[in-house]
């Protein structure tokens, strides 16, 4: 009914908003104030820019949940959020999210500033500096004058302080368009209690602030859909193994590694014709092949610029060499597709390049920027290599699970030689059956999954993954005990216990 009325409500999910954050460099001292003699709060305001693609001429967009997420992300404990649309035909409001109210608002607009009425603002020829292609939006400008150009939402105890039925809205008056809304957060920010994953997400947001919207929006749809951030966390934790750890530099490295990983996923999904990633539509599915290609290339270059800024030749070389190996692994895997004679040794060589190269490089680069000694670098590289192989094998097994967040059994449909398939082809119990099933068209993925499960092939693949996990843990045992080493061990165990 709302669509027929021309007034659409659309909730802003994380994959529909590109939030970009402009922050003061972390090496710049931030002022703080002591309250109650105990708690120290950071008082430096944060600025956040949301990019929103509107879908209709008149649209109410509920941004409450997204604003609340940013409040939590930045640790705003007590203060306020200012919302300010950067357009003269947008407004903001706090009101009830209810369909009949939306209709009443539309009716009010039509009475006070009718869409079909003549407006002097639309006489383009009489206006100075007006472009001939300018939109005829006199009604939108007048309607904006009836609403608030900005609002302030209070924050208490880390939560938005709104009434029971109140929601914060951005109101599009001249859509559909791509719009920007500036948010300024000020008040008391918690200086502690933010984990590594949140810090990595903050750094990723900071990195995006000047990126072109043509790539920022599609890339944001992938990154904000979730992800384990394993490679970024490896870089961050490995940087704590040396005597010159700098959290700011380590987060920049973590962001660079994560950009490379996600850029490779954009291209992987395109090559594999995958329709879902992390439970969401893939970039090429939503934005098209050309945009997916541009996005992947752009963010590989973006990662390189971050690495250059670190001024660590060893770290830059590690990640760039891994990118080359990743590409070689992709080529080798593609050439082996459909080849039933592929051996486990050949598979492991492909995985060493395609997956383990980046986990190994993340660890080596992290240790390098903190001036870790050669023995530490060697141990953490060995850990990263073994972990990467375990990570890929588990991904191969999860390919047969509908809970993975990716297109189920995609490897089989794309003739990819994953470890479970290779083990089945080399097992006397399953070789004949799996060859027969793989030769059918369309490939019966459900029957193949059932065969691999009942014959214990999936369990056998997991045992191989756990052996590589154990290798990673043995490499860690060569390092002195520390919180970073403990966290790296937890990641190794998580890798083989996860279900996504």
- Residue 53 tokens, joined: 């693609």
CA–CA separation, 428 vs 413, rounded Å? 23
Q: What local confidence, expressed as pLDDT, does residue 279 receive?
A: 78
Distance of CA 4 to the CA centre of its chain: 34
What pairing do the DSSP bridges indicate for beta strands 276-277 and 280-281?
antiparallel
**What pLDDT shows up at residue 72?**
79
Measured between alpha carbons, how far is 304 from 313 in angstroms, rounded to an integer? 12
Averaged pLDDT for residues 230-253: 95
Closest CA to 347 of 455, 267, 424: 424
pLDDT, one tens digit per residue, over 127-153 is: 887 888 889 999 999 999 999 999 999
pTM higher than the cut 0.75:
no
Confidence band (pLDDT; 50, 70, 90) for 3? very low
In b/e form, how buried is each residue of 121-138, taking b as 16+ CB within 10 angstroms? bbeeeeeeeeeeeeeebb
Averaged confidence pLDDT in the chain: 86
Alpha-helical segments (H) within 208-312 = 213-223, 230-238, 247-272, 283-287, 289-310
Confidence (pLDDT) at 209: 67
pLDDT in tens, 286-305: 999 999 999 999 999 999 99
CA distances in angstroms from 95 to 82, 101, 102, 488, 490, listed in the order given: 16, 9, 10, 47, 45
d(CA 351, CA 340): 17
**If we measure between CA atoms, which residue out of 264, 246, 239 comes closest to residue 388?**
264
Strand locations in 125-176 (E) = 151-156, 159-160, 166-172
CA distances 187 to 20, 94, 117, 155, 292, Å, are 20, 21, 45, 9, 39
What the chain holds in terms of domains, given with CATH numbers, is 2-193 (2.60.120.460), 216-497 (1.10.600.10)
Whether 94 and 165 have beta carbons less than 8 Å apart is answered as: no
d(CA 315, CA 318): 5
Burial of 461 (0-12, 13-18, 19+ CB in 10 A): buried
Cα 7 to chain centroid, rounded: 30
Please give the C-alpha separations between residue 135 and each of 84, 177, 248, 454, in angstroms, as whole numbers: 22, 11, 45, 63
The per-residue pLDDT for 41 is 58
pLDDT band at 70 (very low <50, low <70, confident <90, very high): confident
Dihedral angle sign, alpha carbons of residues 376, 380, 381, 386: positive
Q: How far from 493 is each of 212, 420, 471, 489, 490, CA to CA, in Å? A: 38, 21, 12, 6, 5
Average pLDDT over residues 441-460: 92
User: Lowest-confidence range among 8-22, 348-362, 407-421?
Assistant: 8-22
What's the mean pLDDT in 474-488? 93
pLDDT at 96: 94
Structure tokens at 245: 């750890």
**Tokens 């924050």 label which residue?**
155
CA distance 139 to 143: 6
Query: For residue 107, what pLDDT is reported?
Result: 95
Contact by Cβ (8 Å): 66, 50: yes
Q: What is the pLDDT of residue 192?
A: 40
- Joined together, the tokens standing for residue 371 give 């001036």
6-15, 57-66, 199-208: segment of lowest average pLDDT: 6-15
């Amino acid at each position: 009914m709302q669509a027929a009325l021309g007034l659409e409500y659309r909730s802003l999910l994380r994959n529909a908003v590109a939030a970009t954050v402009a922050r003061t460099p972390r090496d710049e001292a931030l002022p703080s104030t002591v309250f109650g003699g105990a708690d120290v709060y950071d008082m430096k305001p944060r600025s956040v820019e949301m990019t929103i693609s509107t879908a209709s001429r008149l649209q109410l967009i509920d941004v409450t949940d997204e604003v609340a997420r940013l409040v939590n992300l930045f640790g705003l404990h007590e203060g306020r959020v200012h919302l300010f649309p950067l357009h003269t035909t947008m407004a903001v409001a706090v009101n009830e999210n209810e369909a009949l109210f939306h209709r009443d608002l539309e009716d009010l607009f039509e009475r006070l500033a009718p869409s079909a009425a003549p407006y002097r603002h639309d006489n383009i020829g009489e206006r100075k500096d007006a472009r001939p292609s300018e939109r005829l939006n006199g009604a939108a400008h007048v309607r904006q004058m009836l609403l608030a150009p900005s609002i302030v939402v209070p924050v208490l105890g880390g939560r938005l302080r709104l009434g029971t039925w109140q929601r914060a809205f951005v109101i599009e008056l001249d859509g559909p368009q791509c719009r920007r809304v500036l948010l300024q957060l000020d008040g008391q920010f918690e200086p502690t209690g933010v984990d590594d994953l949140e810090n990595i997400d903050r750094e990723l947001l900071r990195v995006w602030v000047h990126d072109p919207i043509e790539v920022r929006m599609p890339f944001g749809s992938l990154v904000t859909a979730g992800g384990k951030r394993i490679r970024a966390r490896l870089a961050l934790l490995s940087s704590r193994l040396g005597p010159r750890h700098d959290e700011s530099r380590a987060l920049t490295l973590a962001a660079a590694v994560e950009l490379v990983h996600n850029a490779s996923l954009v291209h992987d999904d395109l090559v594999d014709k995958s329709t879902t990633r992390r439970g969401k539509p893939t970039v090429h599915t939503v934005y098209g092949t050309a945009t997916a290609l541009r996005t992947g290339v752009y963010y590989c270059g973006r990662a390189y610029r971050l690495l250059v800024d670190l001024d660590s030749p060893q770290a830059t070389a590690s990640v760039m060499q891994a990118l080359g190996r990743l590409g070689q692994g992709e080529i080798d895997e593609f050439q082996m597709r459909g080849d039933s004679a592929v051996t486990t040794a050949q598979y492991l060589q492909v995985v060493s390049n395609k997956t383990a190269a980046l986990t190994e490089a993340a660890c080596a680069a992290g240790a390098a920027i903190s001036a870790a000694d050669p023995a530490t670098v060697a141990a953490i590289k060995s850990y990263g290599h073994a972990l990467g192989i375990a990570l890929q094998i588990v991904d191969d097994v999860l390919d047969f699970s509908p809970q993975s967040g990716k297109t189920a059994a995609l490897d089989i449909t794309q003739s990819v030689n994953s470890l479970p398939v290779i083990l089945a082809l080399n097992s006397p119990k399953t070789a004949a059956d799996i060859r027969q099933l793989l030769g059918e068209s369309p490939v019966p993925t459900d029957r193949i999954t059932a065969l691999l499960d009942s014959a214990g092939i999936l369990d056998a693949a997991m045992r191989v993954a756990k052996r590589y996990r154990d290798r990673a843990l043995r490499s860690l045992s060569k390092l002195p005990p520390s919180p970073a080493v403990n966290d790296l061990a937890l990641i190794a165990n998580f890798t083989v216990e996860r279900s996504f």
